[in-house]
Amino acid sequence: MDPHVCKNRSQSIDWHEFLSKERDIVCEIIENTDSTLIEDTRFCLDALKQSNIPIALDDVGGKRNLFCFDFLEYSKFIKFDKCWLDLFRTKAYYKNIVWGFLDFAREADILCVLEGIETQEDLLIAAEMGFPLVQGFLFQSRNLVV
């Protein structure tokens, strides 16, 4: 969800009426959110939380993405951008940042997702890091053995 579409009471009521009828739904706060819209984003997150709609922060760590620690308080999911896979391969010390996030997330009852899993090697890296969930094109294959 782009926070631009839920930045006032009228819009939040519309989203509540639409989303509260759904089961097994999670709203992603999408990556085109920028730092000039922190208050709009916070309003949107408050509205979703009050409606008991689970929230996922998308593409955390991406090169063009907003990340605000306050937003973790609203989140049931943290989705790590696929760029982390390259960092794990080329700058292993970045693993320490993610291990800290994973520890935090476990204690806060937040599920972490590593995006961009496209090869068996990517899946092994995700397992080594301890990600409970992954997302990517690898899972389109009928020949996948996990």
This prediction's pTM: 0.75
Amino acid 61: pLDDT: 77
Amino acid 72: pLDDT: 85
Start-to-end CA distance of the chain, whole Å, equals 31
Which alpha helices (H) appear in 20-137, and where do they start and end? Answer: 38-50, 83-90, 95-108, 120-129
Amino acid 142: pLDDT: 56
Amino acid 139: pLDDT: 65
Q: Per residue of the chain (146 residues), what is the pLDDT tens digit? A: 777 777 888 888 888 888 888 778 888 877 565 554 677 778 888 888 888 888 887 878 777 666 777 788 889 999 999 999 999 999 999 999 999 999 999 999 999 999 999 999 999 999 999 999 999 987 665 555 55
Is 79 within 8 Å of 50 (Cβ atoms)? no
The Cα–Cα gap between 47 and 15 comes to 9
Spacing of C-alpha 92 from chain mean position: 22
Give me the residue spans of the domains in the chain: 1-55, 76-146
